[in-house]
Structure 1
């Protein structure tokens, strides 16, 4: 049984009917209210007029009956009352004398209704001649009924109601026609166009008939149709693009449900699993007794991973092709769009990584083998480093022994050979004194003395180069002697500069610095073709810095190192032995700068 509630009925009505019903209710309320208040106003007006008329008649009779009542002229009183008795509202006229009681009474046709009557009582006073005061001689009682006024009011109410009803009917008909012409018609045409647009006819357009709300609605419907046409065209283009991408994709694209059945697949997916068409793959997945290509365990694992992480990225699976060949695939997927709850489908892409998997296995084996070789090489490098360190220690030891041997040889040459040569010189001088002047023997003795003096110079020079005696007086003295010796032999101006206090260094450190400076000056003399050399020794809190600068032609430092320059190698090795830093800077035609820095910590360690 269908229950027709007011809300259901209201929903089932058309907009035109709803507007007319609303208008009818509104007009009925307004007209009824107006009629009610108009009738009430008329009723009040008539009742007030009745009361005013009763008051005027009572006042008139109180004045006109004064003389007849004084003279007790009943006929005159009855005549006056009878003259007013035909009034339809009259119920009763009564004249009462002060000393006699009721003098005259006239009743009208209406019954005496206490609830619906208007009563006016006035005193009748007589004014004697002269200055005598007025005297009350009686009273007149006027009683009117309201029934006649109520009847007239009812008739007026009917007229008002019929007038309002006629007006409402005319307004309703006029509004009905106008609404049907101005609202219902355009809305019907709008509905027709909207239905055509909804059915897919995006070329349909609404006619804009006015500039009101319906015209604006028609304009917006046309704009909506344009946007729908554009959106639908774009959607179709995108759908074709998407379909083309899916059909031509190299990766397998699929849609998997929770039962392990494939609902959708692209050609690449079918080819990957050994099927000719996606339809064959989907049919095989639906008809197989076990799920293809995913096993139940794999399906549960995929959906569980999706539930935990929200997506599946780089998941590798081992699947079986149609011919039983195992393959490895990499899967990227996410849940199909649903509102709330777990997604019922899994949509994703699948890539064949069998070759990559095999390559990774091969690479893993090669990596393990390479790791073994690297470990062996590291062990060999450690042994080589240890051997190099031992060689360096041996080199440092040999250098120390060499310097000690040079020192010993220099001292023996200086002390022993020098003393012998000095004694020989003295003997030659004594022999010369025994010979006659200008004799052949005297000339021979002079030549022998000159040879002995040259030999003494050569011995001193050899001893100085083996072990400069100036090193016994400090590094600064040794470098100053080296600069003077270089200037004397190379004929190149060489100046020594000392900045800061003279450093006190152990013999090994001072000897290494001196040898580096000596080798640098030797290279300048041989290759630089310089016209000036500056040797600077700087002693600061940061350590000791030795700088040798020339203005020669310069050289290619990288080529010299790659060419195994033994001078640079020796200087570098000597610097390493004292834990110093050696820097060589040189450019073509700009000279060279050799900078040696021995840190304060290194000086302290060497001193210890």
Structure 2
């Protein structure tokens, strides 16, 4: 496995400086930090500038050396053409020795094509490849005439960069020395200026702020300039002024708060999680049966003088309170039972929240207690009275239910008796009509026969005529009584009975009465048809007696499975509510008959506008006995 060289301190050159930098403790004072920052900034700027400047000078020297090597090589390639053509070694050596003393020259080598190396002048050892400059130029000879140039050899020039590097090193040392001197002067000057303009004013500001923080709110900073430090001093003075006013207001508020707490009639306290009271007001002490707060704290405290009185908050209560506080963040309106100094209990209402008492780490409970013992007793009394009242209400409800049941039974009995009466009327009417009527008819016939037989005696004829008249009158009375007991038309249905009733009303009264059927003819049982007939009969009787109407109308409507019957007139009208309060037996009878057949009775009337009586019910028979709402009866 190949190890990363950056993880190896021997191969990572940055590891050691980073470790040293991590161990350096930077100065904490603003003056030292500013100076360090300035030093680092100047060093970086100057170092970067010197680096680029020196690199530029070095590159320029190297470029000059390359240019010099090119010129020497070009010069020698031209000047050595004739001596090399003549193979004049001495002339070649003289030219090379002229340039050989130059310190930058390492060697000159002249090579002929047919003769090899003719001259080699060395001035210094051959340097490393990266420290030398090599130029090779061909040597060409141009013969007279128009012959082209001919290469007869070449010149090799080798120069060294050592001289340029030595000059560069000297220049670099001079530049770095000058830079270090300038940095030192700038640093010292800046140090003195910052010490005079920044450090001393800041030190004086620190002294004033420390005095203000120590409680000397009357101390003020001297404003020595209008610069940033002067404005900072002005703001510190303003802060000290506002802090002085705030402290005075806070002390006044604390005094008022303390006065309110001390004079409050409700108990205020601070309770820790162990169930110990940390603070309380006099009302709290009096609530728990102590003379004063000091006596209570002495009795409930952990000191050696504690008399170990029973704690007001039991361990269970304390745990429950702190659990509620942890869950909801506050306690509002909780009723709690506390133990007084004499061992008795008192009921209180608690409102509390969590606080950090005296900067302690544990959360304490700050609360307010209100004595609700009297209210608790009153609530118990009210609860007992409420229970008694509820029991009486239940008893009254049972009684009312029994009364309603009895009234319902009475109404059912009344309905049954009405059915019996109608049945008796029907039997009586049938008996009178079938038996007594037949006998009277037979008497009438016999009287007629007797009248024919005794036609010669005028006196007996008159007597028999009187007897016939009496029998005729008796027969009319029997028919009238039978018809009022139960109209024979009821045997043929409600429609026939209503038509007969309207005709009979018109025949015996001055009011014109008409009958109208709308829709289909309803099919009703005998009891329901009789009840509807009696309601219409009673309504027309009221019209005849009280309405003084010129016209009345009876309308029977068959609408789907509902039946609606209406009797209205154009008479004087009446006050319905007043008639009900006056115990109108006719209206009560109509209401009772409507209830018996499960119908809704509506009575509408006003003085001078006539009256309207309307009943609505299902054509199919319903359960008889339910009581109709009042707003369905009267309008």
TM-score (norm 2): 0.72
Asked whether the 8 Å contact 2:597–2:624 carries over to 1, the reply is: no
Query: Distance in 2 between the 1:159 and 1:474 partners?
Result: 145
- 427-436 or 547-556, larger mean C-alpha shift: 427-436
CA contact (8 A) 1:575 1:581 kept: yes
In structure 2, the residue matched to 1:578 is: 597
Task: Confirm or deny that 1:533 pairs with 2:548.
Answer: no
Q: Alignment partner of 2:564: what SS?
A: strand
* Map of 1:563 onto structure 2: 582
After the TM superposition, which of the residue ranges 54-63 and 224-233 deviates more from structure 2? 224-233
Helix, strand or coil for the counterpart of 2:167?
Answer: helix
Residue segments in structure 2 that go unaligned for 5+ positions in a row: 1-19, 626-635
CA spacing shift, 1:414–1:256, aligned 2, 3 Å: same
For 2:49, the equivalent position in structure 1 comes to: 34
The answer to whether the 8 A contact 1:580-1:602 is kept is no
Instruction: Say if 1:559 and 1:244 are closer, same or farther in 2 by CA, change over 3 A.
Output: farther
Partner of 2:510: 491
Q: Which residue of 2 aligns with 1:545?
A: 564
* Contact 1:499–1:537, Cα closer than 8 Å, also in 2: yes
Report what 2:274 is aligned to. 259
Query: How many angstroms apart in 2 are the aligned matches of 1:96 and 1:506?
Result: 156
Query: 1:24 and 2:45 equivalent?
Result: no
Offset at 1:256? 1.8
Encode CA deviations 1:533-576: one digit per residue, 9 max, x unaligned.
Answer: 22122233323322222233333333333333222222222222
> How many Å apart are 1:390 and its aligned residue?
3.3
Task: Work out the CA distance in 1 between the residues paired with 2:236 and 2:448.
Answer: 137
Q: Which residue of 2 aligns with 1:321?
A: 340
1:360 aligns with 2:375: no
Question: Within 2, Cα distance between the matches of 1:106 and 1:319?
Answer: 121
Query: Aligned to 2:52, what secondary structure does the other structure show?
Result: helix
1: distance between equivalents of 2:100 and 2:468? 199
> Conserved in 2, the CA contact under 8 Å of 1:284 and 1:292?
no
Say if 2:573 and 2:606, in contact at 8 Å, map to a contact too. Answer: yes
Show the counterpart of 2:64.
49
CA distances 1:19-56 after superposition (whole Å, capped 9, x unpaired)? 54334324423432332333233233334434543554
Residue 9 (structure 1) aligned with residue 28 (structure 2): no
- For each residue in 1:250-287, what CA deviation from the matched residue of structure 2 results, as whole angstroms up to 9, or x when unmatched? 65443321221223445554443345665655554434
RMSD over aligned Cα atoms:
5.6
Find out whether 1:299 has 2:315 as its counterpart.
no
Structure 2: how far apart are the matches of 1:243 and 1:445? Answer: 126
| Equivalent-residue separation in structure 1 for 2:471 and 2:623 (angstroms) | 46
Greater mean alpha carbon deviation, residues 52-61 or residues 153-162: 52-61
Aligned residues: 593
Residue 346 (structure 1) aligned with residue 362 (structure 2): no
Aligned counterparts of 1:542 and 1:163: Cα–Cα separation in 2: 125
Distance (whole Å) between structure 2 residues aligned to residue 35 and residue 345 of structure 1:
68
Q: Partner of 2:311: helix, strand, or coil?
A: coil
Q: CA deviation at 1:57?
A: 4.1
Local SS of the residue matching 2:499: helix
* Alpha-carbon distance change, 433 to 229 in structure 1, aligned in 2, over 3 angstroms: farther
After TM superposition, the structure 1 stretch with the greater mean CA deviation from structure 2, 90-99 or 27-36, is 90-99
The more displaced of 372-381 and 483-492 is: 372-381
CA displacement at 1:132 relative to structure 2: 8.8
1:72-471 aligned within 5 A: 84=99, 87-89=102-104, 112=125, 114-115=127-128, 146-165=161-180, 251-266=266-281, 268-275=283-290, 281-282=296-297, 284-286=299-301, 287=306, 289-290=308-309, 292-304=311-323, 306=325, 312=331, 315-322=334-341, 325-333=344-352, 335-336=354-355, 344-419=363-438, 422=441, 427=447, 453-471=472-490
Which secondary structure state, in structure 2, belongs to the residue aligned with residue 503 of structure 1? coil
Residues 196 and 204, structure 1, Cα contact 8 Å, conserved in 2: no
Kindly tell me: are residues 484 and 336 of structure 1, through their superposed partners in 2, closer, same or farther at Cα, counting changes over 3 Å? farther
What SS does structure 1 have at the residue aligned with 2:566?
A: strand
Contact 1:552 1:591 (8 Å CA) reproduced: yes
Runs of at least 5 residues in structure 1 that lack an aligned partner in the other structure: none
